[in-house]
Each structure stands twice: as structure tokens, then as C-alpha cells.
Structure 1
């Protein structure tokens, strides 16, 4: 079955380049020119993934991302941000707003397709049916549901995957490099900051005090370890 991917970019040649290569790899692609078109389109048809340019006319990619992540029906749609900017702050801001990945123009088409495949592969994996509870948290791996004090916690796909892999390796130190490989599905070069951003976001949602976390512990210079908090 073809998986529908939305490409949102105001540059026609970029849209056509991405569409040509994704279609060649078996995906169904819809190209849109701006953020308003994107939000209108996905209200009627939920895509499998969105490739979203940051520098869009009118509503920029950041605002589009925020709108998608605030919609309960769409919040789990994987988003790859596309930007011509190389500044670290632009990449971090996109991740903070809920983007799953980013790629900077000019980009290798081969790398873009690899990232799309990796993200879709992770999104399509059937989770374990196990439900586990500890402290004030309950996690249902099958339903991708997290409850804190019996209230649902809104997590992005990547945040849930991070929590899942940390819980299933409870007590074991997970390096940033391993987390990148296991969750993002390809090798970043020196971009372990991606993990730190997602961990910080996750802590704010599940910890009572994200500055003094009980569950997700930092192992300085190495990575993270999950503690049941008992």
C-alpha cells in the first residue's frame, strides 16, 4: 500500500525534486506551497509523514508544526523539517516544537529518502502489548498511551519511542549514539544534541520536577538511564 507523504515548500523545483524521488521509491506524494494549505489539507486526509519547510510565506514551518502537534488527531504524524538555515538554534527550535527530524538545504536526495524510510519504519512498528505502571506513571505500549496521575500525557512519536526504549532497558545506561541509531534509524554525525532536546522535552511532560528528574537520569558524558523511581 502506498504511503501518502505531504511536501510543503514554496520553491517549485524543490517540491518537484522531492516528489520525483519519493514517487520513484514507491510513495504517494502531495505537494503544497504554504502552511495554510497544509493545515487545511490534513484536516481531511491524515498523511503518513510531512516534509515541512521552515521558511514559508505567511505561516512559517514552526507555526505549522505547533498547530499539528496541538491537534490530538494529528499529533503523532512524523514531521521532518526542511531548512536552508544552518544555525543550531533553528534546528533545536524545530525539535522543541515537536518535529521528529530535520534536514538542511542543500541536501542529498539519497539522504532525504533514507530519513523518510527510517522515520516511517519506526512509525509503522507494532509496539508491545505490555502495560507497565510505576510511581505516578502508567505506560501502554500497544496504545501509545501514557498516563500521569491518571491523566493522559501528550507525547510525540519520538518522545514515546524514547520513553519506551528507556523503560525496556530499565537500569541500563543508553548512550546518545545508541538512542540515535535505535530511534532515528540512521547515523547522525555529531548530532547527539537531537537526543538531548527530546529528553528535555520528555522530562517536562512526565517528571514532577524536570530539573531534578526521578525517572530519566543523565549519566554525564555518556547518555541516559531509566530509573523506576522507587
Structure 2
């Protein structure tokens, strides 16, 4: 559920209090109260907690105290500029993704921000779907482990590089799309994934099947990989929210 507050005041921190808001905190540094409200709603609906700052100094203070999962950063801010903040954040915590959100669209500014350490750049006006996808992609890149392409869980062994799968030592035939969906789950272990997010990330921005398409694909994965598909242990349904993968 989205918090009931109608407006986030400048420099206010607001953390979602719902049980599903367990994915970490997104820090929004934006001086426009209307834009604060829009961004807050977008990330609360994706089950993140949200902290909001209306100026650069407050943003820096919140960054140090909240330790956010990612930062959405405006460039033009009171007290400390977005450019300076970006560089400071990366010196304090290089692994924290920073997505710059600004009306400035010149290529030179984008290049400068990337050189200062920003992980991505989204130009206003923006699509909420694109912004959340960019944030989630940046978070995944930071979390992605290096090493083997083989992923093991339960009785299953999945080699994503060779696109082969086994359950209890017996080969299992998965389609290319089933490998893609399973890879997304294994990259997001224990995270609740909405059907809409799965459609965006696995099926792509230009394809708009119904959410039932997701349910049918997961049903097929369960039939191939779960010991008891009717009572899954790994590909779990989180009622009212989506799905979660548990190794």
C-alpha cells in the first residue's frame, strides 16, 4: 500500500511501513515537492522504503544515516549541487547505485555525470516504468556475483552459459525463455518480484502479454524443476504481490 500522506515536505524522510516494504531504501534528492510526491509513490508501489531530501546537504546527511540501496539524484539543488553530491557519494560508498534524474539533456552533461560516478541518467519528463527498470538494473549489476555460471538449488543444477539443466542428475529441457526467466529469479534471490516487473525485465518493454503469461511460464518451470509442483519449495507465490525465488 502507498502511504496516505498527501505531500512529502522538503527535507522529510518517510519510510514505508508496510510489511512488503523490505527491499531496502531508495534515497530521493529532489527540491520540487510535486516531483518528490511522484517519485515517492513510484518506489513505495515497488515495495521499497523511501527517504526524501529537498536539498543537497540534507541528502548527504541522509545518505550517511540511512545507507540507501540506491539514490535518485536531481542535478540542480540548493546548498550542494547534484554534481558535487554524486562525486561525494561515490567516495563514501562506491557500490551504491546513483541514478541522475534531470531536465538537463545535453550529452556533455550526461558524460560528465558518468565520469563523476553516476550509474545512469534519466531525463525529465520520464516514464515511471523506465525509471524503476533503470534503478533495478543498476542494483542488480552491483549485486551480481562473479564466477561460475552454474547455479544449484534443491535437486537442480542449472548452467546458464551452456543452457543446460538437470534435476536429480537427469537432464531437463528448458526453453530459451524459461532460462531467461529463471536467470532473473536467481539474480534476485529472496526478493518479491511483481508480475509487472517480470513482464518488463524478462519479456521486454515492447511486449505486453497479460500477467497470466507470467503465471503460465512459472507453472511450467515448477513442473520441470520442483519435486512437487503443487507445493513448490523454490518458486513461491506471494499472494497479492508476485513471486519469490528461494534456493
For normalisation by structure 2, the TM-score amounts to 0.50
Cα gap change, 1:53 to 1:186, in 2 (>3 Å)? farther
C-alpha separation in 2, matches of 1:26 and 1:122: 19
Correspondence for 1:13 among 12, 24, 34: 34
Indicate the residue corresponding to 1:37 in structure 2: 58
1:99 to 105, 118, 127: 118
Matched, 1:64 2:56: no
Aligned residue number for residue 22 of structure 1? 43
Matched with 1:4 is: 25
CA distance in 1 between counterparts of 2:66 and 2:131 reads 23
**Cα distance, 1:126 vs. partner?**
2.5
Provide the secondary structure at the position in 2 that maps to 1:92: helix
- Contact in 2 for aligned 1:6/1:31 (Cα 8 Å): yes
Q: Is the 8 A contact 1:83 1:103 kept in 2?
A: yes
Are 1:83 and 2:102 counterparts? Answer: yes
2:80 maps to 1:46: no
Whether the aligned pair in 2 keeps the contact of 1:9 and 1:56 (CA below 8 Å) is yes
In structure 2, relative to structure 1, the CA distance for the partners of 1:46 and 1:186 (3 Å cut) is farther
- Kept in 2, the 8 Å contact 1:35–1:61? The answer is yes
What are the residue-to-residue correspondences of 1:111-150 with 2, within 5 Å?
111-128=130-147
Normalised TM-score (structure 1): 0.53
**1:36, 1:59 within 8 Å by CA — same for their partners in 2?**
yes
The higher relative CO (CA closer than 8 Å, separation ≥ 6) is in: 1
Task: For residues 47-100 of structure 1, give each alpha carbon's deviation from its aligned partner in whole angstroms, at most 9, with x where no partner exists.
Answer: 1100000011121100001111222xx121100011111111111111010000
Tell me the CA shift for residue 186 of structure 1: 8.9
1:202 maps to which residue? none
Q: Distance in 2 between matches of 1:17 and 1:123?
A: 26
**Partners of 1:37 and 1:92 in 2: how far apart?**
26
State the SS of the aligned residue for 1:69: helix
Contact 1:115–1:186 at 8 Å: present in 2 too? no
Q: Which runs of 5+ in 1 are unaligned?
A: 130-184, 188-230
Size of the alignment, in residue pairs?
130
User: Unaligned 5+ residue runs, structure 2?
Assistant: 1-21, 149-203, 207-247
Counterpart contact for 1:8–1:35, Cα < 8 Å: yes
Q: CA RMSD in A?
A: 2.0
